[in-house]
Amino acid sequence: MDDMSDTDLQIEFVFEGDFVLKGFINRIYAPLIVEEIKSRLPFEGRTALMKDEMKITLGISKGNAKPTNEVKKADIAYQPLGDSLDIYLSDKRTFSQVNVIGKVTSDESELDGLKQVRRGSLVIIRYAE
């Protein structure tokens, strides 16, 4: 998946303390969810790290597109139940169904840096520069 397609939307998560993660979301996975996120960029959310997943509150109230309970490390998924964008720090089975819409492209050591992000801290999601 190294070659980015024209449906990939390059984004950055900018956490408090200037910690930045790069990634992409792709409309092929869930067009309505991705379009809704895209229409709001840049926007701010609050973080919560729980069991190897970083949750960022969205407030878009969308349903499931292609729901799954299986996620891989570095996946970016929308979770309707919590109305959040989740970044996974390990391969896992999720408690409730999620829609995988993208992936973190920053390297693994940066991804692991999410564990240092304080709960409730601010994150800005924006187009990658």
Note the maximum CA span of the chain. 34
| Residue range 102-110: mean pLDDT, rounded | 95
Domains parsed from the chain with CATH numbers: 8-127 (2.40.100.20)
Torsional class of 93: left (φ above 0), alpha (ψ -120 to 50), beta (otherwise): beta
DSSP state, residue 58: -
For the segment 48-91, what is each residue's pLDDT rounded down to a tens digit? Answer: 998 899 999 998 888 888 899 999 999 999 999 999 999 999 99
* Average pLDDT taken over every residue of the chain: 91
Indicate the residue type of 60: I
Give dist(CA 13, CA 47) in Å, integer: 11
Position 1 confidence tier, pLDDT thresholds 50, 70, 90: very low
DSSP character string of 13-39:
EEETTTEEEEEEEETTT-HHHHHHHHH
